[in-house]
Amino acid sequence: MIRAVKGTRDLLPPSTSVWNHVEAVARGVFRSYNYHEIRTPLLEETQLFARGVGEETDIVTKEMYTFEDRDGSSLTLRPEATASVMRAYIEHRLDQRPGMQKLYYMGPMFRRERPQKGRYRQFFQIGAEAIGSESPVVDAEVIEMVVDLLEGVGLEGFTLLLNSVGDSKCRPAYISQLREALAKVAPNLCEDCQRRVITNPLRVLDCKVAEDQPIIDKLPSILDHLDEACRQHFETVQQLLRDRKIPFEVRPRLVRGLDYYMRTTFEVVHGALGAQNSVLGGGRYDGLAEAIGSKVAAPGIGFSIGEDRLVMTVENAVKGEALDLLIAALGEAALKRSAELARGLRSLGLSVEIVSDRRPKRALELADKSGARFAAIVGDEELLSGIVGVKNMRTDEYVSVAFENIAEGLRSNK
């Protein structure tokens, strides 16, 4: 028997109803903030991620699905979307359009990492990018949008974590001091962090190994090394969030796992997800455009939500899409009339299922198991009288209505 590839999965009803709900809420929130959808290819040139995400990140060194195409070029299934969105922004000269470009996306990403709760090798992200401004006001608005989205899908009890990782002017001095501190404790760190000490010491702060955390907590804080511009930017973001009454916690070790982040970084965590408790992460990436070859600066900030994890967290609180009406047709004539009735109801936006079964009791059992809101049995008697008995499956009440009035009754109780 052929099964789904390890780290992938099939999304089945009724779970897909929750996915549709989350995505519908997200689209509504994005629309309210004037964001517009962008769809980028699943395949990109490998160099886009090597240069944009960072050659020494875990994503590039260990997790990407990369292969050689028939023409010898190296292609990669996208492990994240921000680099792809920026590539499209540059390629299509979106900087020539008036105002800031506010874009959102939804879709699958691919990373070959160890499958665990809420984390898969093909996973899904919902994200947004605001490109064309360095203002801390934009940072605060993006974070506000994140909070609106999470609350809109029904997520409760989440925590917003916030930090600044400085910029290319002030970060080098911090990294130099960090290297000195790490050199003294490197042998006590995990194997990956011992490598990061040499290749990219900032990544050590992003380590998730529990045994390393007491050591990492004693390392120098980047907040003590921000220059005046970065410090003022971060203070303004915090004040704007306070003005919006959005609670947050400052976490000096929060650096995220991608090289392109600078200044504002943030993450949302939720206790229901266990040790790997991140629901989403984001931050500012003012130098990303230049890193992937642009001659024009394109400052931006964005975030990506792990949709798999978000759905898993809210699925018990989201009601599925209930079938409006199940019709049991008893005989050929009844089946024909039921089909006509169903066509009219469906044109009004109601969901209808028809079953051909001469056992009314069996039809009602099926309606109950399928979660239908109402059930109707159409037989010879109903065809002659033009009246059908409609059962409310929630209250067990029957109502006799004319065929032409069924829609009104269903919609008034929707």
Higher-scoring residue by pLDDT: 9, 50: 9
**pLDDT interval class at 258 (50, 70, 90):** low
Give the span between the Cα atoms of 58 and 209, in whole angstroms: 14
Residue 321 has pLDDT above 60, yes or no: yes
pLDDT of residue 399: 85
Give the SS3 label for residue 167. Answer: coil
pLDDT at 205 over 60: yes
Q: How many CB atoms lie within 10 A of CB 364?
A: 18
Task: Please give the pLDDT value at position 394.
Answer: 86
Instruction: Assign domain 15-170+226-317 to a CATH class.
Output: alpha beta
Query: Tens digit of pLDDT for each residue in 355-404?
Result: 886 677 787 787 777 788 898 888 888 888 888 888 888 888 888 888 88
Q: Which of 284, 180, 187, 268 is closest to 233 using CA atoms?
A: 284
- Band the pLDDT of 290: cuts 50, 70, 90: confident
Contact 145, 240 (CB under 8 A): no
**pLDDT > 60? residue 274:** no
| All CATH 3.40.50.800 domain ranges in the chain, comma separated | 325-409
Q: What is the mean pLDDT of residues 243-258?
A: 85
Please determine, for residue 275, whether its predicted confidence score (pLDDT) is greater than 70. Answer: no
Q: Each residue of 84-130: pLDDT tens digit? A: 999 999 999 998 888 899 999 999 999 988 767 667 899 999 999 99
State mean pLDDT over 238-265. Answer: 87
- Distance between CA 234 and CA 251 in Å, rounded? 12
Range(s) of the chain covered by CATH 3.30.930.10: 15-170+226-317
Mean pLDDT of 26-32: 97
**Does the pLDDT value for residue 3 go beyond 80?**
yes
Query: What are the residues whose beta carbons fall under 8 Å from the beta carbon of 190, sequence distance 6 or more?
Result: 207, 209, 211, 212
Buried b (16+ CB within 10 A) or exposed e, 84-111: bbbbbbbeeebeeeeeebbbbbbeebbb
Angle of helix 307-314 relative to helix 15-32, nearest 10 degrees?
110
Pick the CATH number of 325-409 from 3.40.50.800, 3.20.20.450, 3.30.930.10, 3.30.830.10: 3.40.50.800
